[in-house]
Amino acid sequence: MSSTLDVPPRERSHGEAPGGASRAASRARRRRSGRLTPYLFLAPWFAGLLFITAGPIAASAYLSFTDYSLIGAPEWIGLDNFQRMFDDPRFYQSLKVTFIYVVVSVPLQLAFALFLAMILDRGLRGLALYRSVYYLPSLIGGSVAIAILWRQIFGSDGLLNGVLRFVGFENPPGWVSDPDYALGTLIILNVWTFGAPMVIFLAGLRQIPTMYYEAASLDGAGKVRQFIQVTLPLLSPIIFFNLVLQTINAFQTFTQAFIVSGGTGGPADSTLFYTLYLYQRGFGNFDMGYASALAWFLLLIVGGLTAINFIAAKYWVFYGD
């Protein structure tokens, strides 16, 4: 990623130099051998997928149709697990929590990431430093240590409330221990990990030829107009990429909620993420069959939403062709 970004930004070549026939042949040869290279690089990932992931995926597909307590043999019960979901209030609660989280945190995070990418794209001094600093939360944001730190900062007597009390708020709430605020705090934690989409936005911004901005500005377009009519359309494939990726990530959020609520999804189920509920059922409540069914239902949800995303993309993503 970083080598991509280190290419001087504003030099765009226009077309390739004309070459002779022999040159074209050698290029074709290179292209053929080049076709194998990507697969070679992908091979370890595929091996992992086949041997480490595919087995469990197949097993969980089978288990989702069984009553399986972890101890003892699974017992085939057909679609019972899937029917059971619709009578399970905590299933609905976990869906609600997860959807709120995705719908609020992903757009916020992307907006924030784009905003900072645009500031950084203006050619600041020490860009590499800023880039690293802002990227850091993305690397550590999902970690246990950060979740624990977060719990301290946002506790009733935590750092944040210390500051709030100092500036005169009498009774600041417990940001992670009050059901009205706990989910919001986790959303902020997710927005804070804006670094990964930011770096991708930054790369995308640098691919937009300057001549469009020059042309727009000659036509009298201001900064806002340029943003709406040049930046957004040309960046739309990148926005789309980030949107899909972050949506999927957000659906899979687990660590933060697990640590911050001590594994309960509390207080009062206000942070009962879908994956956390799935985990509780499978590993805490000897209900691995149901947990597997939940996992597959999540796959359906995320797959469905991603498909919708792709269909919708036809109407707003501009690939320039």
Partner 1 sequence: MHTIRRNGARAPWSTRVGVTGGVLGLLLTTAACGGDDGGAAADGGATREDGPVTMRMSWWGSDTRHAATQELIDLYESQNEGVTIEGDFTGFADYWDRLATSTAGGDAPCLMQQDTRYVREYADRGALLDLTPYIEDGTIDTSDLDQNVAETGAVEDATYAIPTGVNAFSVVIDPAAYAAAGVEVPDGESWTWDEMVDTAAQVTQATGGQVYGMQAMGLNGGDTNFEVYAREQGEALFDENGEIGFTAETLADWWAIEKEASETAAEPPPSTTVEVFNGGVDQALVATGRGASGFWWTNELPALTAGAGTELEFRQFPTTEGDGETGMYLKPAMFWAISSDCESPQEAAMLLDWLINSEDAVNIIKADRGLPVNTELREQIAPTLDAPGQAAVAFVEEITPGLQEPPALPPQGAGEVQAILQRYTEQILFDQISVEDAAEQFITEVESAIA
- Shortest distance, CB of residue 59 to partner 1, whole angstroms? 4
Find the binder of partner 1 among 71, 145, 167, 218 (CB under 8 A). 71
Written as one letter, the residue type at 269 is D
Find the binder of partner 1 among 138, 229, 252, 255 (CB under 8 A). 252
Asked if 319 interacts with partner 1 (CB under 8 A), we say: yes
- Shortest distance, CB of residue 302 to partner 1, whole angstroms? 6
- Shortest distance, CB of residue 314 to partner 1, whole angstroms? 11
Asked if 292 interacts with partner 1 (CB under 8 A), we say: yes
Asked if 306 interacts with partner 1 (CB under 8 A), we say: yes
Can you spell out the DSSP letters for 125-174? TTHHHHHHHHHHHHHHTTSHHHHHHHHHHTSTTSHHHHHHHHTT-SS---
Residues 6+ positions from 287 with CB-CB distance below 8 Å? 69, 281
Contact of 195 with 138, CB cutoff 8 Å? yes
Asked if 69 interacts with partner 1 (CB under 8 A), we say: yes
Find the binder of partner 1 among 207, 215, 219, 225 (CB under 8 A). 207
Asked if 118 interacts with partner 1 (CB under 8 A), we say: no
Partners of 66 in the β-ladder = 76
Contact of 204 with 293, CB cutoff 8 Å? no
DSSP code at position 64 = T
CA distances to 78, 89, 241, 292, 302 from 82, rounded to whole Å, are 9, 14, 32, 10, 17
Site string for partner 1, 44-63 (x = CB under 8 A): -x---x---x-xxx-xxx-x
Partners of 67 in the β-ladder = 75
Asked if 40 interacts with partner 1 (CB under 8 A), we say: no
For partner 1, which is the closer residue by CB, 116 or 313? 313
Find the binder of partner 1 among 141, 174, 184, 195 (CB under 8 A). 174
Asked if 203 interacts with partner 1 (CB under 8 A), we say: yes
For partner 1, which is the closer residue by CB, 218 or 300? 300
Number of other residues whose CB lies within 10 A of the CB of residue 297:
18
Find the binder of partner 1 among 80, 108, 155, 217 (CB under 8 A). 155
Asked if 138 interacts with partner 1 (CB under 8 A), we say: no
Asked if 162 interacts with partner 1 (CB under 8 A), we say: no
**Binding-site residue total for partner 1 (CB under 8 A)?**
71
Find the binder of partner 1 among 127, 153, 164, 302 (CB under 8 A). 302
- Shortest distance, CB of residue 97 to partner 1, whole angstroms? 13
Distance CA 186, CA 188 (A): 5
Dihedral angle of Cα 182, 187, 190, 191, to the nearest 10 degrees: -140
Asked if 321 interacts with partner 1 (CB under 8 A), we say: yes
Asked if 19 interacts with partner 1 (CB under 8 A), we say: no
Query: Which element (helix H / strand E) includes 67?
Result: strand 66-67
| Residue 237 burial class via C-beta count within 10 angstroms: exposed 0-12, middle 13-18, buried 19 and up | middle
Find the binder of partner 1 among 150, 185, 199, 269 (CB under 8 A). 269
For partner 1, which is the closer residue by CB, 115 or 310? 310
